[in-house]
Amino acid sequence: MKIIGLLAGVGGLPAQFARAARGMGFTVIAVGLVPGVDPELNNIANKTYHISVGQLQQILTTLKNEGVTEVTMLGKVTKELMFTGTVQFDERIQKMLSSLTDNNDDTIMLAFVRELVAEGLSILDQTALIKNLMPGQGVLTRRPPSVAERADMEFGLQIAKEMGRLDIGQTVVVKKCAVMAVEAIEGTDVCILRGGELGRGGVTVAKVAKPSQDLRFDVPTVGLSTVEAMCAAGATALVIEAGKTLIVDREKVVSMANDHNITIVAM
């Protein structure tokens, strides 16, 4: 039986992956990297360890001791941990970080991947077992977008793609084809709240894959927290890329959006 390692961050995606993998007969060894990892993961994975993302050597040793040869990385691990002092870094990760030319998301993640590969671990495409969570083109909610919302969606997708190309973020908030907020280190939900405040409601959220998206990490994902943030921000529309964005708990996401008259479109 194949053993898969799961490096887990916050959100429902790690548990959904573990459930899918177990259903296909895989053994899942999960490592929770940050506080707030879904406790359900403990009940789904064959084994779950909780090791700080800053303790790279301990993570690698644990995976190897469990016989893991393939690893996937899912869930939110925000880069701000580097700057708050809440995570203690071991010697190995300090050496890795000190060798980088910048601290962009892709730069850090590719360096992390290289450390895993150096230990003989293969990195799985994040979507390998959960492609069913990526909707095809179309309106996902009961309400289709208005003419103005559709224009904002198309505009937002273009801007978000450019932000992704620059490796700044994957989400933008727009209104009347003007940018209200761009995601950076704060993450999607805070970006949405800021954009809603600046736009005074009625905003559209766009989330996309980077033009050169590496499917081993940071595949764009939306879930209940996304819609909750939109409700708090007074956002009325969400556009994602068809076939390139994961939706966690899709039925609940669509139901909440319908309840708040939010339109969601995969373009």
**Which pLDDT band, with edges at 50, 70 and 90, does 216 fall under?**
confident
Tally of domains in the chain: 2
- On whether the CB atoms of residues 26 and 4 are closer than 8 A, the answer is yes
Q: What are φ and ψ of residue 49, in 5° steps? A: -110, 155
With 80 as the cut, is the pLDDT of residue 256 above it? yes
Q: Which of 81-90, 111-120, 194-203, 226-235 has the lowest mean pLDDT?
A: 81-90
What pLDDT is recorded for position 1? Answer: 62
Q: Are residues 55 and 170 in the same domain?
A: no
Residue 229 identity? A
Q: Do both 119 and 140 map to the same domain?
A: no
Of 74, 99, 123, the residue that ends a domain is: 123
**Lowest-pLDDT choice from 69-83, 113-127, 169-183:** 69-83
Q: Say whether 169 sits in a helix, a strand or coil.
A: coil
Is residue 213 located within the same domain as residue 152?
yes
Using the 3D structure, point to which of 97, 123, 149 is the last residue of a domain. 123
DSSP string of 174-190? EETTEEEEE--TT-HHH
Share of the chain above pLDDT 90, in %: 87
Give the mean pLDDT of 182-198.
95
CA distance 130 to 69: 19
* Residues 26 and 61 placed together within one structural domain of the fold: yes
Average pLDDT, the chain: 94
What does the pLDDT read at residue 188?
93
DSSP codes joined into one string, 38-83: -TTHHHHSSEEEE--TT-HHHHHHHHHHTT--EEEEESB--TTHHH
254 shares its domain with 216: yes
Is residue 128 one of the residues assigned to a domain?
A: no
What are the φ/ψ torsions at residue 249 (nearest 5 degrees)?
55, 55
Q: Is the pLDDT of residue 103 over 90?
A: no
- Tell me whether residue 212 is in a domain: yes
Cα separation, 198 vs 189, whole angstroms: 14
Least confident of 14-23, 71-80, 138-147: 71-80
Domain of 176, CATH number, reads 3.40.140.80
Domain range for 156 is 134-266
Q: Taking 80 as the threshold, does the pLDDT of residue 181 lie above it?
A: yes
User: Is there a single domain that holds both residue 252 and residue 195?
Assistant: yes
Residue 18 lies in a domain: yes
Average of per-residue pLDDT across 66-76: 95
Long-range contacts for 19-24 (Cβ within 8 Å, ≥24 apart)? 19/44, 20/129, 20/130, 21/129, 22/46, 24/129
The confidence score (pLDDT) of residue 259 equals 98
Q: What confidence tens digit (pLDDT) does each residue in 20-45 have? A: 999 999 999 999 999 999 999 999 99
Closest by alpha carbon to 254, among 263, 241, 243? Answer: 263
- Does residue 90 form part of some domain? yes
Element (H, E) at 233: helix 224-233
Do 58 and 99 lie in one domain? The reply is yes
Q: What is the 3-state secondary structure (H, E, C) of 100-161?
A: CCCCCHHHHHHHHHHHHHHCCCEECCCCCCCHHHCCCCEECCCCCCCHHHHHHHHHHHHHHH
Of 123, 153, 170, the residue at which a domain comes to its end is 123
Q: Mark whether 87 and 140 lie in a shared domain.
A: no
Instruction: Read off the tokens for 114.
Output: 């290289």
Query: Quick one: pLDDT band at residue 214, thresholds 50, 70, 90?
Result: confident
Q: What is the pLDDT of residues 124-168, one digit of tens each?
A: 998 989 999 999 999 999 999 999 999 999 999 999 999 999 989
Span 189-208, average pLDDT: 97
* Mean pLDDT (whole number) for 225-236: 98
How large is the average pLDDT for residues 203-219? 92
- Residue 4 reports pLDDT greater than 80: yes
